Amino acid sequence: MSAVPDIDPIPLAALTTLRAGGTPERMIEATTSDELVAAMTEIWASGEPWLVVGGGSNLLIGDEPFDGTAVLVRTRGIERVATDGDRVRLRVQAGHDWDDLVAYTVAEGLAGIEAMSGIPGTAGAAPIQNVGAYGQEIVETLVEVELLDESTGEVETVTAAELELGFRTSVLKAHYGAGARRTGVIVSLTLELTDVGAGEIRVRGSQLRQALALAADAEVSLAWIRDTVLATRARKGMVLDAEDPDTASAGSFFQNAIVSASFARTLPDECPRWPLRVEVDSVQVIPLDSYDGLVPPPASEQSDVKVSAAWLIEHAGLGKGFRLPRSRASLSTKHALALTNRGGASAAELAELARYIQQRVQSEFGLILQPEPVLVNVEL
């Protein structure tokens, strides 16, 4: 059994991109999967509270000291585990930097995650909220993860389907006000990518083509896609940059809201909206013993609608750069969805701004925006 690698605890503000968070009672830095397993086994046996930290780019942690152990996942490594024709499987250790992984796949001519260039954080956290950008999401390439499951204490192979990845969610994500449906730590993940080489390819997905300003039949290289995505994201403050205070954020703080089609009709026509995918061929099953010759109408033929949280915030009168008097937290000057720390803001100041935004949007449009990052010891 590996030794558990304790380190002197430091404030979590130094390890999160929102730059907030108190010092935990205990801190562990796992640089191998054996150390990670040993640490979690010990913590779970003790019954103490625990928190796994990857790149800290999707966490808002309260200012009070965290009353438990923070486990920093610092494992590294990418392995080519299988090749079948043009399909290539990579196994990636959880602590590996996500963007370093994307750069590797692009350099190797492997297509599938290039549009997610520039997303901060670790590979192991990517399935937690099914990371995505420009219409590409990890659900499209994720095969399985090795999960150290808290309920069994074992490392289990869990398929992508079992993780129930959805829009910025999975069974492993703790949403505001609700714990994760399954708890554990991702030790590694396996992706299946397509070997397209260094040549030019036609870009799949209208959202990505639109973001890249490409015609439907245009052909470009993976490297070109990566460079263009990085430049586009940087203009919006969505690539970490110590020199750019607009990037001291957790990316989008609020999720686009999912509302019923009838509620969406109450919003102004100009509010951008996208219908969610409908199951066109869902089958209604009526048990034989309750079949009385009548087929009831389908419960609902209207799909839910995703509406732009950025539009709602800006049209509630909170423009880019908005800040409350005397607060050191503000909206990004480049992106209305990103809450930013302008230097020394506490978690309480960030939460105060988040609450204010929620209240303004609710009183203007009647819906409550939900935070996207995981909140620890913070109430909205």
Ligand X SMILES: Cc1cc2nc3c(=O)[nH]c(=O)nc-3n(C[C@H](O)[C@H](O)[C@H](O)COP(=O)(O)OP(=O)(O)OC[C@H]3O[C@@H](n4cnc5c(N)ncnc54)[C@H](O)[C@@H]3O)c2cc1C
Interacting residues with ligand X (CB under 6 A): 17, 51-59, 73, 94, 119-122, 124-126, 128-129, 131-133, 174, 185-186, 238, 240, 247, 249-251, 374
Catalytic residue among 168, 226, 233, 323: 168
Reduced to 3 states (helix: H, G, I; strand: E, B; else coil), residue 313 is helix
Active site residue 332: no
Smallest distance from the beta carbon of 17 to ligand X, in angstroms? 4
Could you tell me the smallest distance in angstroms from the CB atom of residue 342 to ligand X? 15
**Residue 161 CB contacts under 8 Å (≥ 6 apart), including other chains:** none
Q: What phi and psi values does residue 374 have, to the nearest 5 degrees?
A: -85, 125
The residue (of 58 and 308) whose beta carbon lies closer to ligand X is 58
> 58 or 267, CB closer to ligand X?
58
Rounded to a whole number of angstroms, the minimum distance from the CB of residue 128 to ligand X is: 4
For residue 327, what are its two tokens? 């607060």
Cα–Cα distance list, 310 to 167, 204, 216, 271, 338 (Å): 17, 26, 27, 10, 9
d(CA 144, CA 302): 33
Residue with Cβ nearer ligand X (102 or 267): 102
Distance in Å, CB of 373 to ligand X, minimum: 7
Q: In whole angstroms, how close is the CB of 244 to ligand X at the nearest point?
A: 9
Output the CA angle 325-323-238, nearest 5 degrees: 155
Question: Among 188, 249, 252, 346, which one carries the catalytic annotation?
Answer: 252
Cα dihedral 77, 82, 87, 91 in deg (nearest 10): -20
Nearer to ligand X, 131 or 312 (CB): 131
* Closer residue to ligand X (CB): 174 or 348: 174
3-state secondary structure of 257: strand
Residue number with CB closer to ligand X (238 or 318): 238
Whether 355 is catalytic? no
Distances from the Cα of 73 to the Cα of 133, 139, 174, 226, angstroms: 24, 22, 18, 26
Residue 264's CB is within 10 A of a number of other CB atoms, namely 19
Residue 282 CB, nearest approach to ligand X (Å): 28
The active-site residue, picked from 35, 192, 349, 372, is 372
Q: What CA–CA distances, in Å, run from 9 to 13, 20, 25, 29, 69?
A: 12, 15, 7, 10, 9
Alpha-carbon span 161 to 145, nearest angstrom: 11
Residue 293 CA to residue 376 CA, distance in Å, equals 53
Strands (E), 103-172: 110-111, 132-133, 136-137, 142-149, 155-159
Q: Please give the Cα distance from 106 to 314 (Å, whole number).
A: 36
Name the residue nearer to ligand X (CB basis): 152 or 266. Answer: 152
252 labelled catalytic: yes
Please list the active-site residues.
Answer: 168, 252, 372
